[in-house]
Structure 1
Amino acid sequence: MSSKIGRPEANPSATLADGSAPRLASTVYDQLREIITDSNLVVNRRLPSEARLAELCGASRPVVRQALAQLRNDGMIVSRKGSGSYVTQPPVTGVSTLAPVSSIADVQRCFEFRIGIEPAAAALAARQWTPADIDRIDTALATLEMSILAGKLGTTEDADLHDAIARATHNPYHIGVQAQMRPHVSTGMNITRALTLEHSLMWLQLVQDEHVAVVRAIRNRDDHSAFKLMDAHIRAAQNRMFKGMGNVPDLR
């Protein structure tokens, strides 16, 4: 069992009634995925007890319970009455072999990949979300808005929103791919915003308007619009980046 699990930066006694609980449960969810991966738990292997998981994660049992419920919703574990929780689908880790972004051409390829993946994730999220998912998405959207209003670039907060949308699919492949893509996506965001600093405030608000439209479609369970709006958002991000550079590289 890995002993390197980072503890949440919140009061371990937080309960589901505490306003910090959704954020804490999200952190514990990530920690439980790490436990499954680091411990090489295979299908049908039993997870540690709820009390032990609470100790490992430095969180209350109600928060651990909420994180376990999310893992069940995502199809990664199943609960057996009187026996505990068992792994049904380990977290997707194979895409961790993606080559690091090391050139502008790599960023362009990353955009192309995202166009093929994220619109479908947004559409699936529109069909699959639970109230907890919408709370997570709304929190990420509001946090990003505060970052923009504070004059920050909001790269981390932007990536958090895209992660929250992927998690709302309840599909471990979308969740896994999004998680493993995150460093590559963040690199693209940083480059885009560095290249467009002279337009940063205006363009950041444009980006946020696009996010708001995507989230609205997801909340309305309008999968067709969610797909179209996410596709348009990523293509617009691509265009903003290469407009800042002057052109889009030809990779053929």
Structure 2
Amino acid sequence: MSQVADILTRDDGAPARLSGTVYDAIVQFIANGDFALNSRLPSEAELSVRFGASRPVVREALARLREDGVIVSRKGSGSYVTRRPDMAVLKFTPVGSLADVQRCFEFRAGLEPAAAALAAIRWQDEHLAAVKGALDSLEDCLQRGVLGAEEDNRFHEAIAEATRNQYHVSVQRSLRPHIAIGMSVTRNLSLMRTEARIRTVQDEHVAIYEAIRRRDADGARRAMETHVLNARRRMFEGVDE
């Protein structure tokens, strides 16, 4: 099977949704340098032939890449590479799911800030203790240099519990497998960076907790939104960023 055909097929051999897999394939070509930073991408027609996909499918994949800051389109000129993600992002992400991880971050950026704001208003002592316990566990992971993806997930689920709203709780739990992938990828990437970078991520969690503790709903909303959007951006940090 060719490299492109392999990218366009999920691990179980079932056909993947082509716009997402074309997205993943383009990211891989950019990450390994086949499409160089600041270079012009092949035209939609050329990409369509290369990936065996229709032009509308390619167009949708390119639109997603623009939204994620990987490429930029210039009127009358085409699409250009603006970021070169680290190849590690492909190592840590299951085949065919990179686009889905980004869309999950997009959804979380709307859902979780609202949950944090509600948690700030409604928490009871046991809820705040659970959030703080998860935060302390994350700090321990940082000190020991371990991944902490499970502890990260517990932190976010504890905030959902603090809303005392069963819909926030059930949605957060139902998304757990999808959220876990994004957390694992971003935290693995962080472990490859400087200690200051890892501390920055932890400081974002601290800011969320402190706003909730103060019952600052607006502050909690902003802190959570900042954190999720930063996590989404960190997915595509390049080797020199």
TM-score range, shorter chain: 0.5 to 0.7
Distance in 1 between the 2:152 and 2:98 partners?
20
> By how many angstroms is 1:188 displaced?
0.7
Q: Deviations over 1:104-135 (max 9, x none)?
A: 11111000000010000000000000011111
Secondary structure in 2 aligned to 1:221?
Answer: coil
Distance in 1 between the 2:182 and 2:115 partners?
19
> By how many angstroms is 1:201 displaced?
3.2
Alignment of 1:1-252 (within 5 A): 102-199=96-193, 201-244=195-238
Q: Deviations over 1:48-101 (max 9, x none)?
A: xxxxxxxxxxxxxxxxxxxxxxxxxxxxxxxxxxxxxxxxxxxxxxxxxxxx99
User: In structure 1, what residue type is equivalent to 2:127?
Assistant: D
The 8 Å contact of residues 148 and 187 in structure 2, kept in 1 or not, is answered as no
Q: 1:169 to 1:198 in 2, by over 3 A?
A: same
Distance in 1 between the 2:119 and 2:95 partners?
27
Secondary structure in 2 aligned to 1:214?
Answer: helix
Q: 1:180 to 1:244 in 2, by over 3 A?
A: farther
Distance in 1 between the 2:168 and 2:210 partners?
20
**If the length of structure 1 is used for normalisation, what is the TM-score?**
0.55
Distance in 2 between the 1:189 and 1:136 partners?
19
Distance in 1 between the 2:182 and 2:113 partners?
18
Segments of 4+ moved more than 6 angstroms: none
Choose 200-209 or 141-150, whichever is displaced more. Answer: 200-209
Distance in 1 between the 2:96 and 2:182 partners?
10
Aligned-pair RMSD on alpha carbons?
Answer: 2.0
> By how many angstroms is 1:102 displaced?
4.1
Q: Deviations over 1:131-161 (max 9, x none)?
A: 1111111111111111110110110001000
Q: Unmatched 5+ residue regions in structure 2? A: 1-93
Secondary structure in 1 aligned to 2:146?
Answer: coil
Matched-pair identity in %: 49
Choose 227-236 or 186-195, whichever is displaced more. Answer: 186-195
The 8 Å contact of residues 140 and 160 in structure 1, kept in 2 or not, is answered as yes
**If the length of structure 2 is used for normalisation, what is the TM-score?**
0.58
Distance in 2 between the 1:170 and 1:106 partners?
29
Q: 1:115 to 1:101 in 2, by over 3 A?
A: farther
Q: Deviations over 1:157-205 (max 9, x none)?
A: 0100001000000000000011111111110111223344431633221
The 8 Å contact of residues 192 and 244 in structure 1, kept in 2 or not, is answered as no
Distance in 1 between the 2:160 and 2:95 partners?
21
Q: 1:176 to 1:169 in 2, by over 3 A?
A: same
User: In structure 1, what residue type is equivalent to 2:231?
Assistant: A
The 8 Å contact of residues 193 and 241 in structure 1, kept in 2 or not, is answered as no
> By how many angstroms is 1:240 displaced?
1.1
Distance in 2 between the 1:233 and 1:107 partners?
16
